[in-house]
Chain A
Protein backbone atom coordinates (compact mmCIF):
# COMPACT_ATOMS: atom_id res chain seq x y z
CA UNK A 1 0.00 0.00 0.00
CA UNK A 2 1.31 3.45 -0.91
CA UNK A 3 1.25 5.45 2.33
CA UNK A 4 0.92 8.74 0.43
CA UNK A 5 -2.73 7.76 -0.13
CA UNK A 6 -3.40 7.42 3.60
CA UNK A 7 -4.07 9.93 6.37
CA UNK A 8 -5.01 8.38 9.69
CA UNK A 9 -7.35 5.57 8.68
CA UNK A 10 -8.67 7.52 5.67
CA UNK A 11 -7.68 6.61 2.11
CA UNK A 12 -7.58 9.00 -0.84
CA UNK A 13 -8.29 7.19 -4.11
CA UNK A 14 -8.15 8.49 -7.66
CA UNK A 15 -8.61 6.57 -10.90
CA UNK A 16 -8.49 8.09 -14.40
CA UNK A 17 -10.10 5.95 -17.09
CA UNK A 18 -10.37 6.56 -20.88
CA UNK A 19 -13.90 7.08 -22.20
CA UNK A 20 -14.93 5.00 -25.21
CA UNK A 21 -15.27 7.02 -28.42
CA UNK A 22 -18.87 8.10 -28.88
CA UNK A 23 -19.86 7.39 -25.27
CA UNK A 24 -18.97 10.71 -23.64
CA UNK A 25 -22.38 12.36 -23.92
CA UNK A 26 -24.21 9.30 -22.60
CA UNK A 27 -21.72 8.96 -19.75
CA UNK A 28 -22.08 12.62 -18.84
CA UNK A 29 -25.86 12.34 -18.83
CA UNK A 30 -25.67 9.25 -16.63
CA UNK A 31 -23.38 10.66 -13.99
CA UNK A 32 -25.04 14.07 -13.98
CA UNK A 33 -28.22 12.18 -13.13
CA UNK A 34 -26.71 10.41 -10.13
CA UNK A 35 -27.64 13.31 -7.88
CA UNK A 36 -31.23 12.05 -7.89
CA UNK A 37 -30.40 8.60 -6.50
CA UNK A 38 -27.05 9.23 -4.75
CA UNK A 39 -25.85 5.63 -5.20
CA UNK A 40 -22.62 6.22 -3.26
CA UNK A 41 -24.67 6.42 -0.06
CA UNK A 42 -24.90 2.64 -0.36
CA UNK A 43 -21.12 2.43 -0.07
CA UNK A 44 -21.07 3.13 3.64
CA UNK A 45 -17.34 3.81 3.98
CA UNK A 46 -17.42 6.74 1.55
CA UNK A 47 -16.94 10.16 3.14
CA UNK A 48 -16.85 12.25 -0.04
CA UNK A 49 -16.48 11.27 -3.69
CA UNK A 50 -16.73 12.77 -7.16
CA UNK A 51 -16.95 11.87 -10.83
CA UNK A 52 -15.43 14.34 -13.27
CA UNK A 53 -15.09 14.21 -17.05
CA UNK A 54 -11.85 15.70 -18.32
CA UNK A 55 -11.87 16.54 -22.01
CA UNK A 56 -8.45 18.06 -22.58
CA UNK A 57 -5.55 19.87 -21.00
CA UNK A 58 -5.95 23.59 -20.58
CA UNK A 59 -3.79 26.05 -22.50
CA UNK A 60 -3.68 29.81 -22.51
CA UNK A 61 -1.24 31.86 -24.60
CA UNK A 62 -0.14 33.88 -21.56
CA UNK A 63 0.96 30.69 -19.76
CA UNK A 64 4.00 30.72 -22.07
CA UNK A 65 4.03 26.95 -22.28
CA UNK A 66 6.57 26.02 -24.96
CA UNK A 67 4.49 23.27 -26.59
CA UNK A 68 0.82 22.52 -26.27
CA UNK A 69 -0.13 19.11 -24.97
CA UNK A 70 -3.54 17.58 -25.62
CA UNK A 71 -5.19 14.67 -23.94
CA UNK A 72 -5.39 11.87 -26.51
CA UNK A 73 -8.88 10.85 -25.39
CA UNK A 74 -11.38 12.23 -22.83
CA UNK A 75 -11.02 10.70 -19.40
CA UNK A 76 -13.29 9.96 -16.45
CA UNK A 77 -11.88 10.77 -13.01
CA UNK A 78 -13.31 8.93 -10.03
CA UNK A 79 -12.06 10.13 -6.68
CA UNK A 80 -13.13 8.92 -3.25
CA UNK A 81 -12.14 9.66 0.34
CA UNK A 82 -13.06 6.58 2.33
CA UNK A 83 -12.42 4.48 5.44
CA UNK A 84 -9.87 1.71 5.65
CA UNK A 85 -8.01 -0.20 3.00
CA UNK A 86 -8.49 -0.14 -0.74
CA UNK A 87 -9.25 -3.72 -1.79
CA UNK A 88 -12.26 -4.27 0.44
CA UNK A 89 -13.56 -0.79 -0.41
CA UNK A 90 -13.45 -1.50 -4.13
CA UNK A 91 -15.15 -4.86 -3.51
CA UNK A 92 -17.93 -3.02 -1.70
CA UNK A 93 -18.08 -0.33 -4.39
CA UNK A 94 -18.56 -3.01 -7.02
CA UNK A 95 -21.22 -4.82 -5.02
CA UNK A 96 -23.21 -1.73 -4.13
CA UNK A 97 -22.99 -0.05 -7.55
CA UNK A 98 -23.53 -3.22 -9.56
CA UNK A 99 -26.46 -1.64 -11.41
CA UNK A 100 -24.55 1.53 -12.26
CA UNK A 101 -21.26 -0.05 -13.36
CA UNK A 102 -22.18 -0.74 -17.01
CA UNK A 103 -23.51 2.81 -17.34
CA UNK A 104 -20.38 4.38 -15.84
CA UNK A 105 -17.16 2.37 -16.17
CA UNK A 106 -18.73 0.16 -18.83
CA UNK A 107 -18.51 3.25 -21.05
CA UNK A 108 -14.75 3.40 -20.53
CA UNK A 109 -12.21 1.52 -22.65
CA UNK A 110 -11.44 -1.82 -21.05
CA UNK A 111 -14.01 -1.15 -18.36
CA UNK A 112 -16.13 -3.84 -16.70
CA UNK A 113 -19.80 -4.43 -17.49
CA UNK A 114 -20.51 -5.76 -13.99
CA UNK A 115 -19.09 -5.80 -10.47
CA UNK A 116 -16.61 -8.50 -11.38
CA UNK A 117 -13.52 -6.82 -12.69
CA UNK A 118 -14.19 -3.36 -11.29
CA UNK A 119 -11.54 -3.62 -8.59
CA UNK A 120 -8.77 -4.70 -10.95
CA UNK A 121 -9.82 -2.07 -13.49
CA UNK A 122 -9.80 0.83 -11.06
CA UNK A 123 -6.54 -0.30 -9.46
CA UNK A 124 -4.90 -0.51 -12.88
CA UNK A 125 -5.94 3.10 -13.52
CA UNK A 126 -5.13 4.44 -10.05
CA UNK A 127 -3.09 7.61 -9.70
CA UNK A 128 -1.38 7.85 -6.32
CA UNK A 129 -1.68 10.93 -4.16
CA UNK A 130 1.37 13.09 -3.78
CA UNK A 131 -0.02 14.63 -0.63
CA UNK A 132 -3.33 13.73 1.00
CA UNK A 133 -4.87 15.83 3.77
CA UNK A 134 -7.73 14.62 5.96
CA UNK A 135 -8.95 16.93 8.71
CA UNK A 136 -10.29 14.06 10.80
CA UNK A 137 -8.63 11.09 9.21
CA UNK A 138 -8.95 9.03 12.39
CA UNK A 139 -12.76 9.09 12.25
CA UNK A 140 -14.81 6.70 10.13
CA UNK A 141 -18.01 7.72 8.35
CA UNK A 142 -20.01 5.77 10.94
CA UNK A 143 -18.22 7.56 13.75
CA UNK A 144 -18.74 10.99 12.18
CA UNK A 145 -22.43 10.39 11.56
CA UNK A 146 -23.02 8.95 15.02
CA UNK A 147 -21.17 11.85 16.64
CA UNK A 148 -23.13 14.43 14.66
CA UNK A 149 -26.39 12.76 15.67
CA UNK A 150 -25.28 12.54 19.29
CA UNK A 151 -24.37 16.24 19.32
CA UNK A 152 -27.82 17.19 18.08
CA UNK A 153 -29.45 14.99 20.68
CA UNK A 154 -27.31 16.35 23.49
CA UNK A 155 -28.15 19.94 22.59
CA UNK A 156 -31.85 19.08 22.63
CA UNK A 157 -31.45 17.11 25.84
CA UNK A 158 -29.60 19.93 27.62
CA UNK A 159 -32.49 22.27 26.87
CA UNK A 160 -35.11 19.74 27.88
CA UNK A 161 -33.29 18.75 31.09
CA UNK A 162 -33.04 22.23 32.55
CA UNK A 163 -34.59 22.27 36.02
CA UNK A 164 -34.76 18.49 36.40
CA UNK A 165 -33.99 16.98 39.80
CA UNK A 166 -30.86 14.77 39.92
CA UNK A 167 -32.77 11.49 39.94
CA UNK A 168 -34.99 12.48 37.03
CA UNK A 169 -32.00 13.91 35.17
CA UNK A 170 -30.01 10.70 35.57
CA UNK A 171 -32.91 8.53 34.45
CA UNK A 172 -33.56 10.68 31.40
CA UNK A 173 -29.84 10.78 30.51
CA UNK A 174 -29.40 7.01 30.74
CA UNK A 175 -32.46 6.53 28.57
CA UNK A 176 -31.27 9.05 25.95
CA UNK A 177 -27.58 8.07 26.04
CA UNK A 178 -27.29 4.39 26.98
CA UNK A 179 -23.77 3.08 27.55
Chain B
Protein backbone atom coordinates (compact mmCIF):
# COMPACT_ATOMS: atom_id res chain seq x y z
CA UNK B 1 0.00 0.00 0.00
CA UNK B 2 1.18 3.56 -0.56
CA UNK B 3 1.22 6.63 1.64
CA UNK B 4 1.39 10.35 1.19
CA UNK B 5 4.93 11.48 0.33
CA UNK B 6 5.03 13.75 3.37
CA UNK B 7 4.60 10.79 5.71
CA UNK B 8 7.06 8.33 4.20
CA UNK B 9 7.99 5.64 6.66
CA UNK B 10 11.72 5.65 6.06
CA UNK B 11 13.82 8.77 5.82
CA UNK B 12 16.73 9.30 3.45
CA UNK B 13 19.04 8.13 6.21
CA UNK B 14 17.22 4.83 6.49
CA UNK B 15 15.70 5.58 9.87
CA UNK B 16 11.98 5.48 10.63
CA UNK B 17 10.05 8.72 10.58
CA UNK B 18 9.45 10.17 14.04
CA UNK B 19 5.76 9.25 13.97
CA UNK B 20 6.76 5.60 13.99
CA UNK B 21 8.63 6.11 17.25
CA UNK B 22 7.59 6.69 20.84
CA UNK B 23 10.64 6.75 23.08
CA UNK B 24 12.32 3.35 22.79
CA UNK B 25 9.33 1.82 21.00
CA UNK B 26 9.28 1.66 17.21
CA UNK B 27 6.30 0.74 15.07
CA UNK B 28 6.39 -0.99 11.74
CA UNK B 29 3.25 -1.50 9.66
CA UNK B 30 3.35 -3.48 6.43
CA UNK B 31 0.64 -4.42 3.97
CA UNK B 32 1.33 -6.98 1.26
CA UNK B 33 -0.84 -8.51 -1.44
CA UNK B 34 -1.19 -12.27 -1.11
CA UNK B 35 -1.29 -14.85 -3.90
CA UNK B 36 -4.43 -16.98 -4.25
CA UNK B 37 -3.00 -19.95 -2.40
CA UNK B 38 -2.15 -17.83 0.65
CA UNK B 39 -5.87 -17.53 1.41
CA UNK B 40 -5.86 -21.19 2.47
CA UNK B 41 -2.23 -21.56 3.51
CA UNK B 42 -1.83 -18.60 5.87
CA UNK B 43 -4.71 -19.44 8.25
CA UNK B 44 -3.22 -22.92 8.64
CA UNK B 45 0.23 -21.44 9.26
CA UNK B 46 -1.15 -18.97 11.82
CA UNK B 47 -3.00 -21.76 13.61
CA UNK B 48 0.00 -24.08 13.71
CA UNK B 49 2.25 -21.26 14.93
CA UNK B 50 -0.17 -20.40 17.72
CA UNK B 51 -0.47 -24.01 18.84
CA UNK B 52 3.25 -24.73 18.67
CA UNK B 53 5.12 -22.45 21.10
CA UNK B 54 8.41 -23.96 19.96
CA UNK B 55 8.00 -22.12 16.64
CA UNK B 56 8.16 -18.74 18.37
CA UNK B 57 11.07 -19.60 20.64
CA UNK B 58 13.48 -17.61 18.48
CA UNK B 59 11.31 -14.49 18.62
CA UNK B 60 11.14 -14.82 22.40
CA UNK B 61 14.90 -15.21 22.63
CA UNK B 62 15.59 -12.27 20.34
CA UNK B 63 13.81 -10.17 22.94
CA UNK B 64 13.15 -7.02 21.00
CA UNK B 65 9.50 -7.43 20.06
CA UNK B 66 6.83 -6.29 22.52
CA UNK B 67 3.81 -7.15 20.36
CA UNK B 68 3.43 -8.34 16.77
CA UNK B 69 0.56 -9.54 14.64
CA UNK B 70 -0.33 -10.85 11.23
CA UNK B 71 -3.88 -10.46 9.93
CA UNK B 72 -5.31 -11.65 6.64
CA UNK B 73 -7.67 -9.06 5.16
CA UNK B 74 -10.08 -10.84 2.85
CA UNK B 75 -12.90 -8.31 2.89
CA UNK B 76 -13.41 -4.63 3.57
CA UNK B 77 -16.30 -4.08 6.01
CA UNK B 78 -19.12 -2.05 4.43
CA UNK B 79 -20.47 1.01 6.25
CA UNK B 80 -23.03 2.30 3.75
CA UNK B 81 -22.85 5.07 1.13
CA UNK B 82 -20.72 6.78 0.02
CA UNK B 83 -18.34 3.85 0.67
CA UNK B 84 -18.11 1.82 -2.54
CA UNK B 85 -18.80 -1.87 -1.96
CA UNK B 86 -15.56 -3.64 -2.72
CA UNK B 87 -14.99 -7.31 -3.26
CA UNK B 88 -11.27 -7.99 -2.95
CA UNK B 89 -9.73 -10.01 -5.73
CA UNK B 90 -6.72 -10.86 -3.57
CA UNK B 91 -6.25 -11.31 0.18
CA UNK B 92 -3.96 -8.73 1.77
CA UNK B 93 -1.75 -9.30 4.79
CA UNK B 94 -1.48 -6.71 7.53
CA UNK B 95 1.65 -7.01 9.66
CA UNK B 96 2.57 -4.84 12.59
CA UNK B 97 5.35 -4.97 15.10
CA UNK B 98 6.12 -2.97 18.22
CA UNK B 99 9.82 -3.32 18.87
CA UNK B 100 12.90 -1.57 20.17
CA UNK B 101 16.36 -1.14 18.73
CA UNK B 102 16.96 0.12 15.22
CA UNK B 103 14.92 -0.47 12.07
CA UNK B 104 17.96 -1.79 10.20
CA UNK B 105 18.93 -4.14 13.03
CA UNK B 106 15.35 -5.35 13.30
CA UNK B 107 15.11 -6.27 9.63
CA UNK B 108 18.62 -7.79 9.76
CA UNK B 109 17.57 -10.04 12.64
CA UNK B 110 14.37 -11.06 10.90
CA UNK B 111 16.29 -11.80 7.76
CA UNK B 112 19.26 -13.69 9.20
CA UNK B 113 17.76 -15.43 12.21
CA UNK B 114 14.12 -15.94 11.30
CA UNK B 115 14.87 -16.83 7.70
CA UNK B 116 12.54 -19.83 7.39
CA UNK B 117 9.82 -18.08 9.38
CA UNK B 118 9.92 -15.10 7.05
CA UNK B 119 9.66 -17.40 4.05
CA UNK B 120 6.63 -19.05 5.61
CA UNK B 121 4.82 -15.83 6.56
CA UNK B 122 5.62 -13.77 3.45
CA UNK B 123 6.29 -16.47 0.88
CA UNK B 124 2.74 -16.16 -0.44
CA UNK B 125 2.99 -12.37 -0.81
CA UNK B 126 3.58 -10.88 -4.24
CA UNK B 127 7.10 -9.54 -4.65
CA UNK B 128 8.60 -11.24 -1.58
CA UNK B 129 12.23 -11.73 -2.58
CA UNK B 130 13.19 -14.31 0.09
CA UNK B 131 14.58 -13.25 3.46
CA UNK B 132 18.18 -13.53 2.26
CA UNK B 133 20.08 -11.70 0.96
CA UNK B 134 18.94 -8.93 3.22
CA UNK B 135 19.25 -6.04 0.72
CA UNK B 136 16.27 -6.99 -1.47
CA UNK B 137 14.29 -7.96 1.64
CA UNK B 138 14.82 -4.51 3.15
CA UNK B 139 13.83 -2.90 -0.13
CA UNK B 140 10.65 -5.00 -0.15
CA UNK B 141 9.71 -3.98 3.39
CA UNK B 142 10.38 -0.31 2.59
CA UNK B 143 8.18 -0.54 -0.49
CA UNK B 144 5.31 -1.98 1.49
CA UNK B 145 5.67 -0.19 4.80
CA UNK B 146 3.16 2.50 5.76
CA UNK B 147 4.07 5.36 8.05
CA UNK B 148 2.05 5.78 11.21
CA UNK B 149 0.25 9.05 11.69
CA UNK B 150 0.27 8.48 15.42
CA UNK B 151 2.01 5.90 17.61
CA UNK B 152 1.65 5.51 21.35
CA UNK B 153 3.41 3.44 24.00
CA UNK B 154 2.32 3.42 27.65
CA UNK B 155 5.94 3.01 28.79
CA UNK B 156 8.03 4.60 26.05
CA UNK B 157 11.20 4.69 28.13
CA UNK B 158 11.36 0.90 28.45
CA UNK B 159 12.94 -1.66 26.17
CA UNK B 160 11.52 -5.15 26.21
CA UNK B 161 14.61 -6.32 28.10
CA UNK B 162 13.83 -3.77 30.80
CA UNK B 163 10.18 -4.85 30.96
CA UNK B 164 11.07 -8.52 31.26
CA UNK B 165 13.73 -7.78 33.87
CA UNK B 166 11.29 -5.67 35.88
CA UNK B 167 8.63 -8.40 35.82
CA UNK B 168 11.19 -11.03 36.78
CA UNK B 169 12.44 -8.83 39.59
CA UNK B 170 8.92 -8.39 40.89
CA UNK B 171 8.59 -12.17 41.23
CA UNK B 172 11.81 -12.29 43.25
CA UNK B 173 11.12 -9.24 45.38
CA UNK B 174 7.48 -9.95 46.25
CA UNK B 175 8.12 -12.67 48.88
CA UNK B 176 10.58 -10.44 50.73
CA UNK B 177 8.17 -7.49 50.61
CA UNK B 178 5.51 -9.67 52.21
CA UNK B 179 7.71 -11.07 54.99
CA UNK B 180 10.24 -8.28 55.70
CA UNK B 181 8.35 -6.61 58.52
CA UNK B 182 8.05 -9.74 60.68
CA UNK B 183 11.64 -10.97 60.32
CA UNK B 184 14.55 -10.67 62.73
CA UNK B 185 17.00 -8.01 61.43
CA UNK B 186 19.85 -10.48 60.83
CA UNK B 187 17.58 -12.94 59.05
CA UNK B 188 16.20 -10.07 56.97
CA UNK B 189 19.70 -8.93 56.00
CA UNK B 190 20.58 -12.45 54.82
CA UNK B 191 17.31 -12.74 52.86
CA UNK B 192 17.91 -9.32 51.31
CA UNK B 193 21.42 -10.26 50.17
CA UNK B 194 20.13 -13.53 48.72
CA UNK B 195 17.35 -11.70 46.87
CA UNK B 196 19.86 -9.25 45.38
CA UNK B 197 22.10 -12.12 44.30
CA UNK B 198 19.19 -14.01 42.75
CA UNK B 199 17.92 -10.87 41.02
CA UNK B 200 21.31 -9.69 39.79
CA UNK B 201 20.50 -10.36 36.14
CA UNK B 202 17.29 -8.37 36.44
CA UNK B 203 18.92 -5.24 37.77
Chain A residues near B (Cβ < 8 Å): 4, 10, 12, 14, 16-18, 20-21, 28, 31-32, 34-35, 38, 40-41, 46-60, 62-65, 67, 69, 71-73, 75, 77, 79, 81, 108-111, 121, 124-136, 139, 141, 143-148, 150-151, 154-155, 158, 165-167, 169-170, 173-174, 177-179
Chain B residues near A (Cβ < 8 Å): 1-4, 7, 19, 22, 25, 27, 29, 31-33, 42-43, 45-46, 49-50, 56, 59-60, 63, 65-73, 76-77, 79-84, 86, 88-90, 92, 94, 96, 98, 126-127, 143-144, 146-155, 157-158, 160, 162-167, 169-170, 173, 176-181, 183, 185-186, 188-189, 192, 196, 199, 202-203
Residue of A14, A56, A148, A151 most packed against chain B (CB within 10 A): A151
A131 CB → nearest B CB, Å: 4
- Cβ-closest chain A residue relative to B157: A148
B188–A134 touching, CB < 8 Å: no
| A91→B89 CA distance, assembly (Å) | 35
- Cβ-closest chain B residue relative to A155: B203
A144–B154 touching, CB < 8 Å: yes
A41–B152 touching, CB < 8 Å: yes
A72–B86 touching, CB < 8 Å: yes
| A16→B90 CA distance, assembly (Å) | 17
A150–B72 touching, CB < 8 Å: no
A34–B150 touching, CB < 8 Å: yes
Which of B83, B88, B151, B183 meets A18, CB within 8 Å? B83
Task: List, in ascending order, chain A residues with CB within 8 A of B162's CB.
Answer: 148, 151
| A111→B160 CA distance, assembly (Å) | 35
Task: List, in ascending order, chain A residues with CB within 8 A of B179's CB.
Answer: 179
- A81-B67, A145-B155 known; A75+B31 contact, CB < 8 A: no
